[in-house]
Amino acid sequence: MEAPVNVAISAPADRKPRDDEIDVHGLTHTGSVRPANQDHFLVCSLRKKMDIHLTSLPDIEKLPLLAERLAFLAMVADGVGGRAAGEAASRLALEVITRYVTHGMRCYYTADAQDDRAFLDALTEAAMQCHASVIDQAERQPELHGMATTLTVYLGVWPRAYLLQVGDSRGYLLRGDDLTQISRDQTMAQELIDAGVIARAEASRTRWAHTLSSAIGGSQTAPVVTRIDMAWGNVVLLCSDGLTKHVPDERIRERLRTMTSARQACSDLLQDALDGGGSDNITIIVGRPMRQDAA
C-alpha cells in the first residue's frame, strides 16, 4: 500500500544538532473526567553503535565506541475502546512501531537524503503492521474486541523529518511565529467538511467531531506520511485530542512561541487543557533543535 505523501514548507538547514541541542519533553495525564489513561507516548533516539565482539587489542576501552544519533523518534497513540482495550491498543501500536523502526529501517538512515520513497514506504508498512497486530490481538483476546488507536509518529533524520498520521492525534510545526497543523484529522467531521456538507465552524459541535474515519485496528486504516524540512528553532508538537478539544490553535501558538523550555511548554499546555475542562486523556510532546554555539 502506498501512502499519500504531503510535503510541508521547506526551510534551509545545516549541521545536525548535537544531543545537548535537542530540547524535548513529553507527558501524559488522565484528565479531570476519565477514570483511566488510554494514551501512550514515546520519545527516543535511534543510534549507530559499535559493539566489539572479538579483538586481540589489549586496551579496547581506548577505542571510540560510536553512538552517533541516526534518527529521532517521537510518538503519540490515543486508544479507543473499553478501558483495558484502548490502553492495550495504544501500547501495542507504539511497541510495534518501535520494533519496526529500530530493526526494519536502519538501512534507510544513511540513504540518499534526496530520496524519500524508502522512508515513506517503510513508515506506511510500519503503520500497516501495527494495524494487523492490533486486529490479531483483539481476535485472540475477546475482552479486547473492538480496540483501536490513533497513531502519530515523528521520525527526524536531519534535516528531514517524516510525520506518519492515522486518526486524529495531531502534529504541529511552529516556524517563526507561524503555527501549522501538519497532520489532517481523520474524522467523520473532517470528511464532511471536505465534502462541503458542513462548515468548519460547525464541526466541533457535531457528533462526528471525534468519530474516527481511520484508525489502527479500526474498520479502515489510511496512513498518511508528510515530509517536513526542519531548521534550527522550529518547534514540533505532537498531541492527543485531549489537548485540542479544549485549547485552540491560537493559544497553542502563543505557548510555543513564548516557551522557555519544552518542559515548561508541555506543563503550560496541560494546565490549559485541564482549565478548559480536561474531558479526555491528555498527551503532549514538544521538541525543538536549539543551537548552542555559532558553528
Judged by phi (left if over 0) then psi (alpha if -120 to 50, else beta), residue 167 lies in left
Q: Distance of CA 55 to CAs 60, 62, 256, Å?
A: 8, 13, 50
Phi, psi values for residue 50, rounded to 5°? -95, 115
Distance of alpha carbon 50 from the chain centroid: 28
Cell numbers at 78, concatenated:
490515543
Residue found by looking up cell 520494533 in the block: 99
pLDDT of residue 295: 47
Domain boundaries, the chain: 5-47+69-289
Cell numbers at 229, concatenated:
524540512
pLDDT of residue 202: 77
Which contacts (CB < 8 Å, 24+ apart) does range 19-23 have?
19/45, 19/69, 20/292, 21/289, 21/290, 21/291, 21/292, 22/72, 22/287, 22/288, 22/289, 22/290, 23/261, 23/262, 23/287, 23/288, 23/289, 23/290
Asked if 249 and 4 touch (Cβ cutoff 8 Å), the reply is: no
Q: What does the pLDDT look like over 180-189, one tens digit per residue?
A: 999 999 999 8
Q: What CATH superfamily is the domain 5-47+69-289?
A: PPM-type phosphatase domain (3.60.40.10)
Q: Provide block-wise average pLDDT over 10 residues at a time, the chain (295 residues).
A: 51 76 96 95 84 65 67 94 88 94 71 71 93 96 93 94 96 97 92 83 77 94 95 97 96 98 98 97 97 71
pLDDT of residue 57: 59
pLDDT of residue 51: 65
Asked if 203 and 189 touch (Cβ cutoff 8 Å), the reply is: yes
Judged by phi (left if over 0) then psi (alpha if -120 to 50, else beta), residue 124 lies in alpha
pLDDT of residue 81: 82
Residue found by looking up cell 516557551 in the block: 259
